[in-house]
């Protein structure tokens, strides 16, 4: 909410009429992101697979911000099923009148045991990247139609410092040629989030009449349901007094996402990786997985182009008109 106040968006419903879609809002930082943005008067659509939890989220947000005049609605979407992504996107477009100003790709899984999505993709890459890639493609025209030169549409990709564990393994995305490692899989999916934002910016950021700007970000270390697959040993390591100092509250964890979504700083530019409500620089100590900064491969433009084409084929989302 401090970001909202700093941007002058905390009173009078200043973003009334703006439409924001956020994935993964049944718990964690997604809830806090939705709550802060709802306070601006924007229409907020949240996605989740658990309808009960989603409805509880909506009720709690309305109680927290009773003066907001925005709509607050739930879209059912399971990101491990592309059919559900397509159904959810279609439902959203019907209800929003084909209008979308900000897409926030927040949902994800972390370090889970090896598994596959309904479409046969390795689970972390399928959920964290391919589902969001498909969702963007399905909503792209709504983002472009809703964009104006003076107020461009935005895409916000929630990545992680975990991207430093792995670049995208373009020749073995699903660990079919090598041994699966949960954190390496998570790492490549989070690098894919960065590359997707960079490539959206390259393709659509300079559109003369309907630009789309995209950023990626590290929200910070936060205790959420995302950690449910960690081993007892890994949890104990993160619970030490020293390690606990690095953890943020849910509100702090949502702050960089909110800044990317509504901050004036990102109204007319993108293609950058953010951290702690600032643009991140390169990591100084590559061996320190707690240090801030991005990996050398974060701005691999050729890798991003190749991943875009692979993702388009894997999700069967058709040929892009912008190449």
Which structural domains are found in the chain, ordered by start?
A: 2-315 (3.40.50.720)
Question: HSE of 112 in the Cβ direction (CA atoms, 13 Å)?
Answer: 17
| pLDDT tens, position by position, 260-306 | 999 999 999 999 999 999 999 999 887 787 889 999 999 999 999 99
Residues 231 and 200: beta-carbon distance below 8 Å: no
pLDDT digits (tens, 9 = 90+) for 19-74: 999 999 988 999 999 999 999 999 999 999 999 999 999 999 999 999 999 999 99
pLDDT at 311: 98
Count of C-beta atoms within a 10 Å radius of residue 104: 27
Cβ–Cβ < 8 Å for 100, 153: yes
* Cβ atoms of residues 190 and 128 within 8 Å: yes
The upper half-sphere exposure of residue 33, i.e. CA atoms within 13 Å in the direction of its Cβ, equals: 33
* In 69-147, beta strands by DSSP E: 72-76, 102-105
The rounded Cα 131 to chain-centroid distance in angstroms is: 11
> Are 214 and 155 spatial neighbours (Cβ–Cβ below 8 Å)?
yes
% of the chain at pLDDT higher than 90: 85
User: What residues are annotated to the active site?
Assistant: 159, 186, 190
pLDDT score at 290: 81
Average pLDDT over residues 84-95: 98
What is the reported pTM? 0.93
Which pair of structure tokens corresponds to residue 249?
């509250």
Residue-wise pLDDT tens digits, 155-174: 999 999 999 999 999 999 99
Give, in order, the Cα–Cα distances in Å from 144 to each of 62, 109, 176, 225: 29, 29, 37, 34
């Amino acid at each position: 909410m401090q970001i909202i106040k700093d941007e002058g968006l905390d009173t009078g419903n200043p973003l009334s009429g703006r439409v924001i879609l956020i994935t993964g809002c049944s718990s964690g930082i997604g809830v806090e992101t939705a709550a802060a943005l709802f306070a601006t008067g924007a229409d907020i659509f949240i996605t989740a697979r658990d309808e009960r939890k989603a409805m509880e989220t909506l009720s709690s947000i309305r109680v927290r911000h009773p003066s907001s005049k925005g709509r607050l609605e739930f879209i059912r979407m399971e990101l491990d099923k592309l059919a559900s992504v397509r159904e959810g996107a279609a439902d959203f477009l019907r209800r929003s009148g084909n209008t979308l100003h900000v897409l926030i790709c927040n949902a994800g899984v972390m370090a889970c045991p090896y598994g596959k999505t309904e479409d046969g993709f390795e689970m972390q890459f399928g959920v964290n990247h391919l589902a969001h890639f498909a969702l963007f493609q399905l909503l792209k025209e709504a983002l472009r139609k809703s964009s104006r030169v003076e107020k461009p549409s935005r895409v916000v990709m929630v990545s992680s410092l975990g991207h430093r564990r792995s670049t995208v393994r373009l020749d073995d995305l699903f660990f079919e040629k090598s041994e699966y490692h949960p954190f390496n899989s998570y790492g490549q999916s989070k690098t894919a989030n960065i590359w997707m934002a960079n490539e959206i910016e390259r393709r659509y950021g300079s559109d003369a009449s309907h630009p789309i700007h995209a950023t990626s970000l590290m929200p910070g270390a936060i205790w959420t349901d995302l950690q449910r697959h960690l081993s007892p040993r890994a949890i104990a390591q993160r619970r030490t007094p020293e390690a606990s100092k690095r953890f943020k509250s849910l509100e702090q964890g949502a702050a960089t996402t909110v800044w990317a979504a509504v901050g004036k700083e990102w109204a007319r530019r993108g293609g950058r990786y953010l951290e702690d409500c600032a643009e991140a620089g390169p990591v100084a100590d590559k061996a320190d997985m707690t240090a801030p900064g991005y990996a050398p491969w974060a701005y691999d433009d050729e890798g991003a182009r190749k991943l875009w084409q692979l993702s388009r084929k894997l999700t069967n989302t058709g040929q892009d008109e912008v190449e």
